[in-house]
Structure 1
Amino acid sequence: MARIETQRIDIRVPVSLLEEIEKYQEEHSIPTRTTALLELVRLGLSETKKSKSSKKMKGG
Protein backbone atom coordinates (compact mmCIF):
# COMPACT_ATOMS: atom_id res chain seq x y z
CA MET A 1 0.00 0.00 0.00
CA ALA A 2 1.30 3.44 -0.90
CA ARG A 3 2.18 5.69 1.98
CA ILE A 4 0.15 8.87 2.23
CA GLU A 5 2.16 12.03 2.79
CA THR A 6 1.14 13.76 6.00
CA GLN A 7 1.93 16.99 7.74
CA ARG A 8 1.74 17.60 11.46
CA ILE A 9 -0.33 20.55 12.66
CA ASP A 10 -1.11 21.83 16.12
CA ILE A 11 -4.51 23.32 16.79
CA ARG A 12 -6.37 24.69 19.77
CA VAL A 13 -9.94 23.47 20.13
CA PRO A 14 -12.60 24.82 22.47
CA VAL A 15 -13.19 22.31 25.28
CA SER A 16 -16.88 21.96 24.38
CA LEU A 17 -15.98 21.01 20.79
CA LEU A 18 -13.30 18.59 22.00
CA GLU A 19 -15.89 16.92 24.21
CA GLU A 20 -18.16 16.45 21.17
CA ILE A 21 -15.27 14.97 19.18
CA GLU A 22 -14.44 12.57 22.01
CA LYS A 23 -18.11 11.58 22.31
CA TYR A 24 -18.16 10.81 18.56
CA GLN A 25 -14.91 8.85 19.00
CA GLU A 26 -16.40 6.75 21.78
CA GLU A 27 -19.75 6.17 20.03
CA HIS A 28 -17.99 4.93 16.88
CA SER A 29 -15.25 2.95 18.65
CA ILE A 30 -12.55 5.03 17.00
CA PRO A 31 -9.15 4.32 18.57
CA THR A 32 -7.66 7.83 18.53
CA ARG A 33 -8.79 11.41 18.72
CA THR A 34 -6.84 12.18 15.55
CA THR A 35 -8.66 9.47 13.61
CA ALA A 36 -12.01 10.75 14.88
CA LEU A 37 -11.14 14.30 13.94
CA LEU A 38 -10.01 13.27 10.45
CA GLU A 39 -13.22 11.29 9.92
CA LEU A 40 -15.33 14.26 11.00
CA VAL A 41 -13.41 16.59 8.67
CA ARG A 42 -13.89 14.16 5.76
CA LEU A 43 -17.61 13.89 6.52
CA GLY A 44 -17.93 17.67 6.69
CA LEU A 45 -16.08 18.15 3.41
CA SER A 46 -18.25 15.49 1.77
CA GLU A 47 -21.41 17.29 2.93
CA THR A 48 -20.06 20.60 1.63
CA LYS A 49 -19.45 19.04 -1.80
CA LYS A 50 -22.97 17.54 -1.81
CA SER A 51 -24.44 20.89 -0.88
CA LYS A 52 -22.57 22.70 -3.66
CA SER A 53 -23.64 20.07 -6.22
CA SER A 54 -27.23 20.34 -5.08
CA LYS A 55 -27.20 24.13 -5.45
CA LYS A 56 -25.73 23.90 -8.96
CA MET A 57 -28.42 21.43 -10.00
CA LYS A 58 -31.13 23.76 -8.66
CA GLY A 59 -29.60 26.69 -10.50
CA GLY A 60 -28.32 28.37 -7.33
Structure 2
Amino acid sequence: MPNNKLKTERIDVRVPTPFLKKVEEYQLEQSIATRTQALLELARYGLEARRKQD
Protein backbone atom coordinates (compact mmCIF):
# COMPACT_ATOMS: atom_id res chain seq x y z
CA MET A 1 0.00 0.00 0.00
CA PRO A 2 1.67 3.27 -1.10
CA ASN A 3 2.21 6.03 1.44
CA ASN A 4 0.62 9.20 0.00
CA LYS A 5 1.71 11.41 2.89
CA LEU A 6 3.98 14.30 1.98
CA LYS A 7 7.36 14.02 3.64
CA THR A 8 7.98 16.88 6.06
CA GLU A 9 11.00 18.26 7.86
CA ARG A 10 11.17 20.20 11.08
CA ILE A 11 12.88 23.60 10.99
CA ASP A 12 13.48 26.25 13.62
CA VAL A 13 12.90 29.79 12.38
CA ARG A 14 13.25 33.02 14.30
CA VAL A 15 11.22 35.97 13.07
CA PRO A 16 10.75 39.52 14.32
CA THR A 17 7.82 39.90 16.72
CA PRO A 18 5.92 42.38 14.47
CA PHE A 19 6.15 39.89 11.59
CA LEU A 20 4.76 37.10 13.78
CA LYS A 21 1.91 39.36 14.90
CA LYS A 22 0.94 39.88 11.24
CA VAL A 23 1.03 36.13 10.64
CA GLU A 24 -1.18 35.57 13.69
CA GLU A 25 -3.63 38.24 12.45
CA TYR A 26 -3.78 36.46 9.09
CA GLN A 27 -4.29 33.15 10.90
CA LEU A 28 -7.27 34.51 12.81
CA GLU A 29 -8.79 36.29 9.79
CA GLN A 30 -8.62 33.10 7.71
CA SER A 31 -9.65 30.76 10.56
CA ILE A 32 -6.46 28.76 10.18
CA ALA A 33 -5.84 26.28 13.01
CA THR A 34 -2.09 26.81 13.54
CA ARG A 35 0.64 29.36 12.90
CA THR A 36 2.51 26.68 10.99
CA GLN A 37 -0.40 26.28 8.58
CA ALA A 38 -0.68 30.06 8.22
CA LEU A 39 3.04 30.40 7.47
CA LEU A 40 2.92 27.57 4.94
CA GLU A 41 -0.07 29.14 3.18
CA LEU A 42 1.58 32.55 3.04
CA ALA A 43 4.81 31.01 1.76
CA ARG A 44 2.93 29.12 -0.97
CA TYR A 45 1.15 32.31 -2.03
CA GLY A 46 4.46 34.16 -2.15
CA LEU A 47 6.19 31.43 -4.14
CA GLU A 48 3.30 31.23 -6.60
CA ALA A 49 3.29 35.02 -7.06
CA ARG A 50 7.04 34.94 -7.64
CA ARG A 51 6.70 32.13 -10.18
CA LYS A 52 4.11 34.17 -12.11
CA GLN A 53 6.50 37.16 -12.22
CA ASP A 54 9.35 35.13 -13.73
Question: Is the TM value for this pair above 0.5?
Answer: yes
Gaps of 5+ in 2: none
Q: Secondary structure at the match of 2:31?
A: coil
Q: Distance in 2 between matches of 1:47 and 1:19?
A: 22
In the alignment, residue 8 of structure 2 is paired with which amino acid?
T
* Between structures 1 and 2, the one with greater helix share: 1
In the alignment, residue 44 of structure 1 is paired with which amino acid?
G
Counting aligned pairs with the same residue, the percent is 50
Q: For 1:1-60, what per-residue CA distance to the aligned partner results, in whole angstroms no more than 9, with x for missing partners?
A: 7110000000101000000000000000000000000000000000000111xxxxxxxx
Matches within 5 A, 1:16-55: 16-52=18-54
Instruction: Give the TM-score, by structure 2 length.
Output: 0.93
Runs of 4+ in 1 over 3 A off after TM superposition: none
Q: Tell me the residue number matched to 2:15.
A: 13
Instruction: Give the TM-score, by structure 1 length.
Output: 0.84
Aligned-residue CA RMSD (Å): 1.0
